[in-house]
Chains A and B, each alone.
Chain A
């Protein structure tokens, strides 16, 4: 619906503009945004789209890009359908046809992986808010910048968290299971865990990839039950996350902890659909609404909640899209130009310490020579009373973790 309204409004605006001639025409900065808007990922894409739109609206309402005489940011969305091929040709279209000055996107690693290559070829800066595949920033590209932490570090954070919890509570995990959707993201985390876990004295007793579009998760859950790992690390999109969670509860699979890897487990519809079953579930994520490092977190989340039609909170992915839009805005102010090359140079030297981008919990935001955000770190949340409460690391956390999780039989 928002699309339709926006469309009607923009048509009206165009008519008005034509009517008044070009006297009121204002300079616009076109920014391409690649996200999945149809297919099974559409729900994720729509959520991210709102975050980008919200940031752009705030920036434009506050007077646009001042170094460019108040030029407004115009986001041009392109639907990748979650397909790396489509991502490539849409990136090319955004650059060549639409003439965008920069690109943000593309959620799925595989799509970011291929579409950044196109941007590199055309020398247009590409800011990646959410994709974690290591290689995205390991190809020596000059025009790719990633705000998110690398996938292999995710695995490291997850293991650190498990060890840390063991030390703090005395209930130490010895065995670990990894269950993942058999896609690039799942494979990439699983690969890192396979390598890292034994180095830290954790035995991998279950290593299970399941195909996308699995109709029944029970076989996987039964396998989990038999392997009986102390901690299970999960990586899923939404539908499989819902099915897995319900089946784990149905089969009464008790572990010290279930630890998700964001994505499906951080999506608003996950907790909405599984309800109480999500209680005590841990999730490694980039962000939560209760972070204490800055008052901006609560302010901006409240504003977003008010602005969205269904009054939703930011999730990690959306928060990063929001912050990324501001990072790009910062670069635009610095570059004072719509020339992609100059924006790229500005991005390479940003050092953000204030402004709405600081809803991300690390200062300053800056990129290393590879284009990877320096200091990027992850945190762990636990679902408590249906809320995502940050529990680790302790210095920015709002809540004390419950470790181990209570057994299913003991819950109400």
Chain B
């Protein structure tokens, strides 16, 4: 980080840390948690989508795997969710390699459609499976996670929303550091080479499939941890977590903010998540569907006028502002 960007970054972190102390309304804290969670999730997508340029339409598969693995371990084997989170991440990474093997043979829209098909298969199978080897998956009904008497970090259950807020804030900072670190490492350079021109990268001896696979596994790991967090926050999971619509929502956030940039996904979450929450709040009752029209219109506008993501014009504006200062 350059000296110039340390100060604003520190300010932003401090502001984020103070937020729940100033705003005590649990509704707003909940909304803020959702923003941070989506920022985290979109950043985990960005590791594959941004760094390696592989626009996956199946990221919700990993999210769902994380949610289901940690929940099942918790309910049936009494494994604390914090441990289940790590296990879910590893399971997702392993499965991601199975998905990556066929999908990385494909490019562009074909890759997009294949990953989308994978997550739909997960959704259908989980929806139709009531039981698997004595474990009750509950099919379409979903699983409700019982409240635990002891509030602790290990059990991932807290009395107030604020603890969830700080937890996801720390997780988000961590993944941003991982992203930055990967981007600057040798891996990141290889991935950038693959993203910009895969054939050229191969010709200078970079094993494209291997590096894409690593990016996918890391992306899947973090995606799954978000799933565990979500499960423990809402205490309810359902097969729709695997849906392609949810995958597209994640991808939208990253792309609207700016794929392949450090703060793009965060910016996307900051804009899109409140839009969908607020429009539903103020328009949901009387004007059914209007909230989705607004969401669609924002999407169309961004794609038509700032396809590189909103971070690009924002940065330009920031630079202009900085130059004008004496």
Contacts and interface: CB of A to CB of B under 8 A. Distances in A.
B236 A77 contact: no
B140 A183 contact: yes
Contact of B30 (A4, A92, A135): A92
Contacts of A359: none
Contacts of B234: 85, 88, 114
A6 B286 CA distance: 8
Contact of A187 (B139, B236, B284, B285): B139
Contact of A84 (B27, B127, B238, B281): B238
Nearest to B246: A85
A170 interface: no
A79 B27 CA distance: 17
A199 B277 CA distance: 49
Contacts of A37: 284-285, 288
Contacts of B235: 117
Contacts of B26: 92, 96
Interface in A379-411: none
Question: Interface extent on B, as a size class?
Answer: 20 to 34
B29 to A, nearest CB: 10
Given A78-B284, A96-B27, A133-B141, A38 B292 contact: yes
A230 interface: no
A280 interface: no
Given A92-B26, A92-B30, A182-B140, A3 B287 contact: yes
B144 interface: yes
B141 A184 contact: yes
B284 A77 contact: yes
Interface string B212-242: 0000000000000000000000111010100
A219 interface: no
B289 interface: yes
B285 A78 contact: yes
Interface string A200-228: 00000000010100000000000000000
Given A38-B289, A93-B27, A110 B280 contact: no
Interface string B127-170: 11010000000011110100000000000000000000000000
B124 interface: yes
A385 B141 CA distance: 37
Given A6-B286, A188-B141, 5 more contacts: A84-B236, A90-B284, A93-B27, A133-B141, A187-B139
20 contacts: A37-B288, A38-B288, A42-B288, A77-B284, A84-B236, A86-B280, A89-B30, A92-B30, A96-B26, A97-B25, A109-B141, A110-B141, A113-B144, A114-B144, A117-B144, A117-B236, A135-B144, A184-B139, A188-B141, A211-B127
Closest 7 CB pairs of A and B: A3-B286, A79-B284, A77-B285, A184-B141, A37-B288, A38-B288, A96-B27
Interface of A: 3-4, 6-7, 37-38, 42, 45-46, 76-79, 83-86, 88-90, 92-93, 96-97, 109-110, 113-114, 117, 133, 135, 139, 182-184, 186-188, 191, 209, 211
